[in-house]
């Protein structure tokens, strides 16, 4: 993040997180938080729990998990990771498990959300669809 003092290394990345930080900075300034204190605090902020959380890293790759479930958040997360690691292969795995994500009519909203990935895999449990008494989801859908 660019500051008046120069670049500030952050633990978080992605346009969505940077927009949230900008909004947080504005709110903090409105309530009297010193800018230097804000920057000190965010320099160690690793993000919201279960959102773009680093699980493992080695010389060959990095694994993140994200609890994003709405189509816009899935897209933002996928784009953020690809932007952070543009030369690495991105394999994105999405598990559909909420009522809305397993609704055959709602699935169209996920179209294109994984386009930033080099490989995309979508998981769902037919048993979960059955338990939720939803219309079965075809592989083509």
pLDDT at 112: 95
In which element (H, E) is residue 55 found? strand 53-58
Q: Kind and range of the H or E element at 56?
A: strand 53-58
In tens, the pLDDT along 8-18 reads 777 777 777 77
Q: Each residue of 22-81: pLDDT tens digit?
A: 898 899 999 999 888 888 888 887 777 777 888 999 999 999 998 877 999 899 999 999
- For the chain, what is the domain count? 2
pLDDT at 1: 61
The pLDDT of residue 3 is 67
Q: What is the pLDDT of residue 5?
A: 64
What is the structure's pLDDT at 62? 93
Residues 24 and 78 in one domain: no
Residue 110 and residue 67 share a domain: yes
Cβ atoms within 10 A of the Cβ of 140, count?
4
Residue pair 66/99 in contact by the 8 Å Cβ criterion: no
pLDDT of residue 6: 67
- The tens digit of pLDDT for each residue in 110-138 reads 999 999 999 999 998 888 888 888 888 77
pLDDT, residue 71, reads: 94
Please report the pLDDT score of residue 59 as a whole number: 92
pLDDT score recorded for residue 135:
83
> Taking 90 as the threshold, does the pLDDT of residue 92 lie above it?
yes
Specify whether 1 is located in the same domain as 68: no
Where do runs of H (alpha helix) occur along 31-70? 35-42
Nearest to 44 by CA among 5, 12, 70: 12
Of 4, 67, 57, residue with least CA distance to 35: 4
For the chain, the maximum distance between any two Cα atoms, rounded to a whole number of angstroms, is 57
Torsion of CA 130, 107, 63, 46, to 10 degrees: -110
Residues 126 and 82 occupy one common structural domain: yes
Range of the domain at 17: 1-47
Number of CB atoms found within 10 A of residue 83's CB = 13
Sequence-ordered list of residues with C-beta below 8 angstroms from that of 10, at least 6 positions apart, any chain: 1, 21, 42, 43, 45
Same domain, 81 and 16: no
pLDDT score recorded for residue 54: 87
């Amino acid at each position: 993040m660019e500051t008046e003092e120069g670049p500030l290394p952050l633990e978080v990345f992605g346009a969505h997180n940077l927009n949230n930080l900008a909004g947080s900075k504005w709110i903090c300034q409105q309530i009297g938080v010193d800018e230097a204190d804000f920057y000190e605090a965010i320099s160690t902020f690793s993000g919201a729990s279960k959102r773009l959380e680093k699980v493992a890293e080695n010389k060959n790759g990095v694994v993140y998990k994200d609890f994003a479930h709405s189509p816009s958040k899935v897209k933002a997360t996928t784009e953020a990771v690809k932007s952070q690691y543009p030369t690495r292969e991105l394999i994105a795995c999405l598990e559909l498990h909420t009522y809305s994500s397993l609704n055959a009519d709602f699935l169209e909203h996920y179209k294109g959300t994984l386009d930033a990935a080099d490989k995309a895999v979508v998981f769902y449990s037919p048993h979960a669809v059955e338990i939720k008494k939803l219309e079965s989801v075809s592989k083509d859908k």
